[in-house]
């Protein structure tokens, strides 16, 4: 059943950590979503993307089939706090799995500043942020054509203006990008450290300072990370994050 979302009461009750993920859509005037009785919520977002939150995966195949019958060309991103047997995807979907992590920041005394250099980026840091982002693109996705077309200076001027980038200090070797904040929930979108400066505790220091700030702001922080990224998962676990579920990126075969 499609509805106009007037408030987030349902999500706050059953799937509170969906709020930062959906923050951009929820802040708009209209969002189309489907409630599966006692099972979850499917949200149709811009750019042919459907985000599916399930707290009951017993009928996952039926739900996916229902979605595909109505929305044939969308990419599905599935969030769930339940264990899922990926065999149910293999016949019809290509699936990439990530961990969905949370840091509730219940006691700010757990987050002592390792240094006082962590801060939000300013206009004078934009060149360094662009340098780091170019390194990230080159390392992670090999400078795909669509990424080459980006004007990174414009992009990071906007992010700096909105206080969406936290850095380690000088020199700028690590950045934490805030993807979205909705109410008391915040989603981290990207964390990147200069390849030549890794294994020196810079990312851990930057994260510690960021979490101290988030704790003082009484924010709950969530993020996704690849399941096979041992280094990143260790960093987040050490910083106090714990896994609350999984994220599956599903692309229908054929």
The range of the structural domain enclosing residue 18 comes to: 2-84
Q: How confident is the model at residue 206 (pLDDT cuts 50, 70, 90)?
A: very high
pLDDT in tens, 131-185: 999 998 888 765 454 555 568 999 999 999 999 999 998 899 999 999 888 888 8
Total-model pTM: 0.82
pLDDT band at 119 (very low <50, low <70, confident <90, very high): very high
Identify whether residues 150 and 239 lie together within a single domain.
Answer: yes
pLDDT at residue 223, rounded to an integer: 92
- 219 and 113 together in one domain: yes
Q: Work out how many domains the chain is built from and give that number.
A: 2
Q: Is residue 122 domain-shared with residue 69, that is, in the same domain?
A: no
> Are residues 238 and 120 part of one domain?
yes
Among residues 84, 118, 136, which one ends one of the domains? 84
- Grouping H, G, I as helix, E, B as strand and the rest as coil, residue 102 is strand
| Domain shared by 162 and 237, yes or no | yes
2 CB-contact burial (10 Å; exposed 0-12 / middle 13-18 / buried 19+): exposed
**Torsion sign, CA atoms 100, 20, 251, 86:** positive
pLDDT above 70 (res 6): no
The whole-number pLDDT of residue 218 equals 86
Whether residue 199 is predicted with pLDDT greater than 50 in this model: the reply is yes
Q: What is the C-alpha to C-alpha distance for residues 223 and 79, in angstroms, rounded to an integer?
A: 12
Residue 106 has pLDDT above 60, yes or no: no
Q: Given a cut of 60, is residue 33 above it in pLDDT?
A: yes
For residues 137 and 60, membership in a common domain is answered with no
Residues 127, 238 within the same domain: yes
Q: Is 254 a member of any domain?
A: no
Do the strands 40-45 and 49-54 form a parallel or antiparallel pair, or are they unpaired?
A: antiparallel
Summary mean pLDDT of the chain: 80
**Which of helix, strand or coil describes residue 10?**
helix
- Helices 230-238 and 202-216: crossing angle in degrees, nearest 10, is 40
Q: Residue 242, SS3?
A: strand
Q: Percent of the chain having pLDDT more than 90? A: 25
pLDDT of residue 93: 84
**pLDDT of 123 strictly over 90:** yes
């Amino acid at each position: 059943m499609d509805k106009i979302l007037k408030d987030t009461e349902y999500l706050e009750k059953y799937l509170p950590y969906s709020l930062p993920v959906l923050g951009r859509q929820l802040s708009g005037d209209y969002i189309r979503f489907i409630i599966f009785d006692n099972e979850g919520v499917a949200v149709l977002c811009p750019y042919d993307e459907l985000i599916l939150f399930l707290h009951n995966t017993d009928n996952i195949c039926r739900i996916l089939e229902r979605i595909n019958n109505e929305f044939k060309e969308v990419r599905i991103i599935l969030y769930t706090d339940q264990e899922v047997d990926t065999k149910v995807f293999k016949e019809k979907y290509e699936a990439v799995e990530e961990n969905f992590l949370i840091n509730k920041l219940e006691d700010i005394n757990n987050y002592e500043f390792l240094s006082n250099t962590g801060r939000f980026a300013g206009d004078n840091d934009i060149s360094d942020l662009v340098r780091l982002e170019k390194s990230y693109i080159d390392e992670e996705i090999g400078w795909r054509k669509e990424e080459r077309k980006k004007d990174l200076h414009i992009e990071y001027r906007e992010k700096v203006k909105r206080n969406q980038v936290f850095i380690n200090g000088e020199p700028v070797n690590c950045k934490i990008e805030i993807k979205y904040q909705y109410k008391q929930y915040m989603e981290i979108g990207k964390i990147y450290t200069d390849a030549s400066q890794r294994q020196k505790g810079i990312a851990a220091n930057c994260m510690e300072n960021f979490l101290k700030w988030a704790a003082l702001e009484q924010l709950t922080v969530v993020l996704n990370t690849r399941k096979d990224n041992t280094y990143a998962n260790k960093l987040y676990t050490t910083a106090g994050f714990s896994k609350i579920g999984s994220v599956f990126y599903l692309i229908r075969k054929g």
